[in-house]
Amino acid sequence: MTEKPPREDVGRRPMAWWPVGLIASAATLLLLITAGRYDYHRDELYFRLLGAHPAWGYVDQPPFTPLLDRLAIELLGDHLWAIRLPGAVMLGLAALLAAAIAREAGGGAGAQSVAASVVFGTFPLTAAHVGSTAAPDLLVWLGVSLFVLRALLHDRPRSWLWAGLVAGLGLYNKHLVVLLLLCLASGLLLVGPRGVLRFRWLWGGVAIAVLVGLPNLIYQVANDFPQAEMARALAEEKGAESRVLLVPFQFVLIGLPPVWIAGIVTLLRDPRWRPIRAFAVAYPLMLILLLVIGGQPYYPLALLTALFAIGAVPTVRWLAGRPSRKYQLVTGLVIFSAIGIATSLPVIPESRLAGSFPAEVNQTIPDQIGWPEYTAQVAAVYRALPAADQARTVLFTGNYGEAGALDRFGRPLGLPQVYSGQNEMHRFGPPPDDHDVVIAVLQSPPRWAGTCTEHGALRNAAGVENEETEAAHIYVCRLTVPWRTLWPGLHHYS
């Protein structure tokens, strides 16, 4: 079957490489400039630690992001900026993909530029800056959306195969791409074109996705679907809060909500976009599904980004012949981009961060503060122990951020091996039974750890409040029960 030319009524334009390239480069450069400020985010510390233990998967996530961090460290050294470099590149690529979606929808240079600017929103910048799994996931969802849009709108059947390949690769980063595929398929069933669901090219794409992602699926089956257990734990821990925040979050995930709203409205009303109406329906379906399962409010980020890119086309049409409207749009984009930068990147000096608006509204900012200081506090407790006790001491933490910090900053200070019961960290234990002296960093006294004495709470010089300063204390404990007996009961997902 031969590929058909692009539909003339949609008016597919050339790619506006200059303006779009400048926007993408600016986004990447901005992240590179700020990459070394503040310190590691707790997830980056965890991924760095996981990357030292290569595997086909981990109990709380697929392997891509931890192994990408490992590759960056091997190539560039064990530096913060090294593991943030890939995220900076990904954000630039996301800008290009958003522009490409606008182009497929008939947008010229103006619409493509507006679409590319979406990456300056708070959540795209945050995800890319701190090396979150959401950064590569944004690329995956945009890639799938681009190829699906091309297949539906321009009758390019082989694009289904490319969509399947991107989805299959995406399974190695997060399994959330399945949510996108389910919602798009449901949208096709509800508003059409239903005939494509019988199309062999579409099912060929499904087959490619399954085949490419099969090793990850095998890992899940062989390990009793640990990520399903992780999802249940997240729903129990944060589900109620997530349901309350889901709808309000949609208006702050990316800039200028009127643009993506225009995308949804035009998809439903413009007959030229009838073949891709499934995108407009997929979004509310996703919100309903997330309300049911208690999913995180940011999960629709990439679909919303695609709708923003589509909405850039009618938005630019709205400007035609109205200079005042162009001024309003540019002003809105600049304001929302400035807000996105201020509430996601380390632009405020650390000494003035405590109590600031960005630190209050974006938890990833305070979660980058204090790790070397916390480690130094633990090291002081360790050095105060008698030499005989030091030889049989291990570190134990309540969460993976603390474990990752002690692993990253503790070795130069001579600290012993660190263990934790959270998520994948539990698989790295138990400690040797003859190491019965424990320095524990926990949010409450460890009742399981025998006789314990408290040695102070964690503090950082900047006075920034985060999970550690709110509750974490240092305890020195002497076990009365061997580790091999205690260890199974210390595993927890969160």
Identify the residue with better confidence: 240 or 388: 388
CA dist 233 and 120 (Å) reads: 32
Residues sharing a CB contact under 8 Å with residue 333, sequence separation 6 or more, in sequence order: 114, 117, 255, 256
Which among 441, 419, 440 is positioned nearest to 487, based on CA atoms? 419
Q: Could you please report the per-residue DSSP string of 66-112?
A: HHHHHHHHHHH-S-HHHHHHHHHHHHHHHHHHHHHHHHHTT--HHHH
192-204 mean pLDDT: 91
321 has pLDDT over 80: no
Helix 159-170, helix 177-191: angle, nearest 10: 140
Taking the model in full, what pTM does it have? 0.93
With contact defined as beta carbons under 8 Å apart, do 140 and 177 qualify? Answer: yes
**Which pLDDT score is estimated for 12?**
74
With contact defined as beta carbons under 8 Å apart, do 446 and 440 qualify? Answer: yes
What confidence tens digit (pLDDT) does each residue in 379-403 have?
Answer: 999 999 999 999 999 999 999 999 9
What is the percentage of the chain residues whose pLDDT exceeds 90? 78
CA dist 173 and 319 (Å) reads: 39
pLDDT tier, 318 (very low <50, low <70, confident <90, very high otherwise):
confident
Q: Is 30 exposed, middle or buried (0-12, 13-18, 19+ CB in 10 A)?
A: buried
3 has pLDDT over 60: no
What confidence tens digit (pLDDT) does each residue in 20-73 have?
Answer: 999 999 999 999 999 999 999 999 999 999 999 998 889 888 999 999 999 999
What confidence tens digit (pLDDT) does each residue in 264-294 have?
Answer: 999 999 999 999 999 999 999 999 999 988 8
Residues sharing a CB contact under 8 Å with residue 388, sequence separation 6 or more, in sequence order: none
pLDDT tier, 10 (very low <50, low <70, confident <90, very high otherwise):
low
4 has pLDDT over 60: no
What confidence tens digit (pLDDT) does each residue in 464-480 have?
Answer: 999 898 889 999 999 99
Q: Which amino acid is at 225?
A: F
CA dist 455 and 277 (Å) reads: 60
204 has pLDDT over 50: yes
